[in-house]
Amino acid sequence: MPHSPHLSRSDFVKVVTAFLGSIMGLIVGIPAVSYLISPARKGSAADDWIPLGLLENYPIGVPTLFSFTRTKVNGWERTVNSYGVFVIRKSDQEVTVLSNKCTHLSCRVNWIEADQHFFCPCHDAQFGIDGEVLGGPPPRPLDAYTGEDVKIEEGNLFIHFVEG
Amino acid sequence: MFQKIYAWFDERLGLTTIYNTTLDRKVPKVNWWFTLGSASLFLFLLQGATGILLSIYYVPSPDHAYDSIQYIMTGVSFGWLIRGIHHWGASLMVLTVFLHMLRTFFYGAYKYPREFTWVTGVILLISTLGMGFTGYLLPWNQRAYWATTVGTSIAETVPWIGPFINQVLRGGTDLSAVTLARFFSMHIWWFPAIIAALIGIHLYMVIRLGISHVPTAED
């Protein structure tokens, strides 16, 4: 066959096949990669304002436990976690909110009225009414909700809760 | 550069020979009905690719099957597309495989020396229907549950051994987690393995014997 300046029939078919194949590969490939990495692109930080009820309902000077649950959704699985905070009302508008999670190994502490301290039953840790360590193994005071993480709106107390 | 790399591999793998025997075969002048086999093969590969992707998120348990599919449809990017392709590809594959069988039958392409190609093709058609039957239960919704209840009950009407076949299919007297697990296993391991092996034999026969021409008046 004499050499033709035009594209031969079989070369034309090759080019068209490669071109259409690439487009089809991209149409399938891009969604497939996006599908695989999809869960990694979603943020995990979940924070919310938790209402703890009317501030005036909390007795002055007595740490009072408030319990609440948060639901965490991972894919198709829902996990309900329980949390607790102690609300310590100092005066009409002054309030301290402490996590009830011991800073040693995350057991839940109780308020012992007779001894006027928080007590962790796991390793006999003791915390003062402001969360300071009085004895036992904890490395730091109880976590407190202070400053911008606490607000009072129309007499209702809120804490800014960050999951994790 | 590219020529050199190709020559290096060609010398060791025989790529040109493979290309010549599989794609540069001599074929008679045929029509569009002869593309149905390639279409079926393409759909099988597409179903395999999308199925592997679906198995990333799908869980074959009564507790999670339905919810995990809801998650694929609404929580994962392009999940609706991957499942949609798998869903419609399944129906299309049954259609193309069946039409491929009809083409072979009406053109008499199953005759000597291609009888064995026909036999493997029959098993491939039945396996494709098996893929459809087992895949239909996996969404674990009302339609899936009752379709499988009816389907397995039909097997029960076989004389004498019917109830036994039904229990083997269901993995017990009732549809349960056992049924879902075995249908899932059939759907992603047994049938794909059988189909892949038979496609290999089927294509080997096609390459070895060539394809038949469109029958003429003299035939």
Q: Is pLDDT at A108 greater than 80 in this prediction?
A: yes
Please tell me which of the candidates A34, A76, A77 has its beta carbon nearest to residue B77.
A34
Express each pLDDT in A5-35 by its tens digit: 788 888 899 999 999 999 988 988 999 999 9
Long-range contacts of A29-33 (CB under 8 A, 24+ apart): A31/B77, A31/B78, A31/B81, A31/B82, A32/B49, A32/B53, A32/B78, A32/B82
pLDDT of residue A64: 92
Sign of CA dihedral B90, B94, B95, B99: positive
pLDDT band at residue A44 using 50, 70 and 90 as cut-offs: low
Q: How far is residue A48's CA from residue B26's CA, in Å, rounded to a whole number?
A: 71
Indicate the average pLDDT of chain B. Answer: 95
Arithmetic mean of pLDDT, A115-134: 92
- B82:A75 CB<8 A: no
Looking at residue B61, the DSSP 8-state letter turns out to be S
- Other CB atoms within 10 A of residue B71 CB: 21
- The strand order across the sheet containing A144-145 reads A64-74, A77-89, A95-99, A144-145
Distance of residue B74 Cα from the nearest chain A Cα, in angstroms: 10
pLDDT band at residue A43 using 50, 70 and 90 as cut-offs: low
Q: How far is residue B190's CA from residue B180's CA, in Å, rounded to a whole number?
A: 14
pLDDT band at residue A39 using 50, 70 and 90 as cut-offs: confident
Instruction: Fill in the amino acid letter for B100.
Output: H
pLDDT of residue B144: 97
Q: Is pLDDT at A1 greater than 60 in this prediction?
A: no
Q: Is pLDDT at A135 greater than 80 in this prediction?
A: yes
pLDDT of residue B49: 94
pLDDT band at residue A3 using 50, 70 and 90 as cut-offs: low
Nearest residue of A to residue B50, measured between CA atoms: A32
Q: Which residues of A touch B82 (CB under 8 A)?
A: 31-32, 35
Q: Which residue has the tokens 């310590």?
A: A88
- A76:B64 CB<8 A: yes
Find out whether B156 and B149 touch, Cβ atoms under 8 Å. no
Distance of residue A76 Cα from the nearest chain B Cα, in angstroms: 6
pLDDT of residue A164: 61
Q: Which residues of B touch A36 (CB under 8 A)?
A: 53, 56
Please tell me which of the candidates A35, A41, A77 has its beta carbon nearest to residue B79.
A35
Distance of residue A82 Cα from the nearest chain B Cα, in angstroms: 23
pLDDT of residue A61: 85
A35 touches chain B (CB under 8 A): yes
Express each pLDDT in B152-187 by its tens digit: 999 999 999 999 999 999 999 999 999 999 999 999
Arithmetic mean of pLDDT, A147-162: 88
Indicate the average pLDDT of chain A. Answer: 88
- Number of CB pairs < 8 Å for A and B? 40
